[in-house]
Amino acid sequence: MEFEVILNDVIPRTHDVKSFRFNKPEGFDYLAGQYIMVSVSVDGTVLKKPLTISSSPLDEDLEFTKKLTGHEFSNALDSLNAGDSFTIDGPYGKLTFEGEYDKIALISGGIGITPMISICKNCTDQKAPFDIVLIASNKTEEDIAFRKELEQMESENPHLRVVHTLTRADDSWKGCREHICENMILKEIPDYKERVFYLCGPPGMVKAVKELLVEMDIPKSMMKIELITGY
């Protein structure tokens, strides 16, 4: 279904990532982890892209979060002001979590954090008992979106653990600094065989993690995957 919505707020998340919040249209229901198609008009031409919902289904408003690339679609979104309207349709996507599994492992690369935020927030807001480990991979500390929000969720949710890994961290970073590898899974998710894995990020990263998990004897039926394409 297609809906016209009004932008309420724009929230900077990092130097090149912003969240766009808007009214949730009546009749629009979604599951944590799903995405919408967002259409904006530029000089009479409609530009349309898939963007994952980064709010939780319990939130009053809807939110998506965009990595701003300086290209046409990003610029069109970035030029919107509160009160402006645009169109969404959906929801779409199967990277959803509604409590089907007791234990899950979420692995994200870059802006692939967006569905994980929705899932973690939904579980935290509901005080759900599901055990969640999130490994979020980024290049540098400045690239970590939702860091404070994740810290807040971890403090509220005893079943959520968040691990950040940075592949190009500077010397001040004390945390993980590897690409996602077997050692990291063994160390951070020792009960990995009991978990369903959710993977989301750029195609190369997701492919590498999927191959790693297959080598670690995780069946494909224990993996749910969404690729962030379009860059």
Does residue 71 belong to the site contacting ligand FAD (CB under 6 A)? Answer: yes
Residue 222: Cβ-neighbour burial (10 angstroms; 0-12, 13-18, 19+): middle
What angle in degrees, to the nearest 10, is found between the helix axes of 113-125 and 147-156?
30
Q: Of 27, 60, 54, 14, give the one whose Cα is nearest residue 38.
A: 54
Which of 56, 65, 108, 138 touches ligand FAD by CB under 6 A? Answer: 65
Pairing of strands 223-227, 103-109: unpaired
Residue of 3, 22, 30, 35 that binds ligand FAD (CB under 6 A): 35
Among 14, 52, 56, 108, binds ligand FAD (CB under 6 A): 52
| Minimum distance of ligand FAD from residue 174's CB (angstroms) | 28
Q: Which of 7, 23, 50, 167 binds ligand FAD (CB under 6 A)?
A: 50
d(Cα 24, Cα 221) in Å, to the nearest integer? 33
Among 8, 23, 39, 74, binds ligand FAD (CB under 6 A): 74
Q: Which has the closest alpha carbon to 117: 104, 130, 108?
A: 108
Is there a contact between 22 and 5 (Cβ–Cβ < 8 Å)? yes
Verify binding: residue 230, ligand FAD, rule CB under 6 A.
yes
- Least distance (Å) between residue 39 CB and ligand FAD: 12
Q: How far apart are CA 73 and CA 105, in angstroms?
A: 32
Choosing from 13, 21, 67, 121, the residue that interacts with ligand FAD (CB under 6 A) is 67
Pattern of binders to ligand FAD over 103-132, x per CB under 6 A?
--------x--x------------------
Q: How many residues bind ligand FAD (CB under 6 A)?
A: 21
54 vs 165 by CB, closer to ligand FAD: 54
List, in sequence order, every residue forming a beta bridge with 103; answer none if it has no partner.
Answer: 131
Indicate the DSSP class of residue 78: H
Chain residues that interact with ligand FAD, rule: CB under 6 A: 35, 49-52, 64-67, 69, 71-74, 111, 114, 226, 228-231
